Amino acid sequence: MKGLEYLQAELDEMKENGVFRTLVPLDTEQGSKVKIEGKTVIQLSSNNYLGLTSHPRLRDAAMEAIRSYGVGTGSVRTIAGTFKMHAELERKLAEFKHTEAALVFQSGFTTNQGVLSAILTEKDVVISDELNHASIIDGIRLTKAARRVYTHVDMESLEAALKETQSYRKRLIVTDGVFSMDGNIAPLPAIVELAEKYDALVMVDDAHASGVLGKNGRGTVNHFGLDGRVHIQVGTLSKAIGVLGGYVAGPQALIDYLIHKGRPFLFSTSHPPAVTMANMAAIDVLISEPELIEKLWENARFFKEGLLSLGFDIGESKTPITPVFVGEDKAAYELSDRLLEYGVFAQGIVFPTVAKGKARVRTIVTAEHTKEELEEALSAFERAGKQLNLIK
Ligand code: PMP
């Protein structure tokens, strides 16, 4: 259709530069192996850390919810779309996170947008790590608050920002708990200390730490023993939890305020019963099957050591997210394509998701991977890495 030629021109340029991608449809359910275009490959690109997307208890909970309550809710939460189960999930999350209250949003993305846009005004300032997730960046774009960006995990840079923003009503420091493209953990104890020294608020996005770090996967705050010292904990129900949604956990006043002012919460239909009941079952699984998290970490350690001993650069990763740095965008796609040929699905991550020159293939092992699958994946990395001169 006429009118969109300007978009096509840009797409053509992307094709010329070898960075145009098509979506990769899976022919099977999510798991340690998946079928792509008829070929079974080892899955190293999902956020399904604990394999909960197909856990029998979650499946059963979802089926039962559909049978008893149907497939949709027919309204936003604040009009007619709050079912008892929504409140029950929120109670469960608050208890799990050791906070007064919690509120579920449609996704982790909209949670960050909703929280940041609601609680700050032009009288306030938000101070954000430079590598924070896109949903935090977009949330900040939606606020009228002033902004400061500090150098990634650099506490001197954060303190400098705190020193020069003392005239604002409120200062909110916001950070990913685990950085999604690098797998490093935010230095939360130092951040909290600075926040307490300068009387600032702290918000942590635990999308990649929920179900991964802390006792039973309670997240980075619990991991560092900082329960009660971080004002706002955001997380997702779409990664280790295995379903869909986002949540914010914190003081009752925060949650009550968001019920009135959190725009994605107010203006978007509530989660279907199957999603809500499966999310609840997932929290129960975190409590009753801690061996899943142990297996996840055992696999992560094994795979990281394997990549390191092959000579790959995996940066500062301290979690199951393990990037394999290759430099240029094209090299990331070449490695990813070659790996797929050898039976491993590991996506290349390029600009603008990561900085120019920092392209990588990002891997995430899960609790479901067997040792044999991980060994097979390491062999594929060795073969592809040598062919592309990434390792010797
Ligand atoms: N925050 C971070 C740090 C993330 O990595 C993601 C997922 N890409 C999100 C938020 C968004 O979560 P969701 O997929 O539930 O929208």
CA of 77 to the centre of ligand 1 (A): 22
Q: Which one of 223, 239, 271, 304 is the catalytic residue?
A: 239
208 is a catalytic site residue: yes
Question: Is residue 167 one of the residues assigned to a domain?
Answer: yes
Q: In the prediction, which pLDDT does 123 show?
A: 97
Does ligand 1 have an atom closer than 6 angstroms to the CB of 208? yes
In terms of DSSP H, where are the helices of 17-78?
56-69
- Annotated catalytic residue 180: yes
For 302-314, how does the pLDDT look when each residue is reduced to its tens digit (9 = 90+)?
A: 999 999 999 999 9
* 35 in catalytic set: no
Angle at 229 between CA 202 and CA 85, to 5 degrees: 85
Element (H, E) at 102: strand 101-105
The last residue of one of the domains, among 233, 267, 288, is: 288
Residue nearest to ligand 1 atom 1, measured at CA: 207
pTM for the whole thing? 0.96
Residue 4 lies in a domain: no
Residue 184 is given by DSSP the state: P
State residue 374's pLDDT score. 98
Among the candidates 270, 288, 306, a domain finishes at: 288
Tell me which of 250, 273, 288 is where a domain ends. Answer: 288
Q: What is the CATH number of the domain that holds 374?
A: 3.90.1150.10
For residue 208, give the CATH number of its domain.
3.40.640.10
Dist. CA 388 → ligand 1 center (Å): 32
Q: Which residue has a Cα nearest atom 13 of ligand 1?
A: 108
Looking at the fold, whether 107 and 77 belong to one and the same domain comes out as yes
Q: What pLDDT does 353 receive?
A: 87
CA of 109 to the centre of ligand 1 (A): 5
* C-alpha dist (Å) from residue 301 to 295, 306, 318, 329: 10, 9, 9, 27
Question: Does ligand 1 come within 6 angstroms of the Cβ of 108?
Answer: yes
**Domain encompassing residue 264:** 56-288
Per-residue pLDDT of the chain (392 residues; tens, 9 = 90+): 899 999 999 999 989 987 788 898 999 999 999 999 899 999 999 999 999 999 999 999 999 999 999 999 999 999 999 999 999 999 999 999 999 999 999 999 999 999 999 999 999 999 999 999 999 999 999 999 999 999 999 999 999 999 999 999 999 999 999 999 999 999 999 999 999 999 999 999 999 999 999 999 999 999 999 999 999 999 999 999 999 999 999 999 999 999 999 999 999 999 999 999 999 999 999 999 999 999 999 999 999 999 999 999 999 999 999 999 999 988 999 999 999 999 999 999 998 889 999 999 999 999 999 999 999 999 999 999 999 999 98
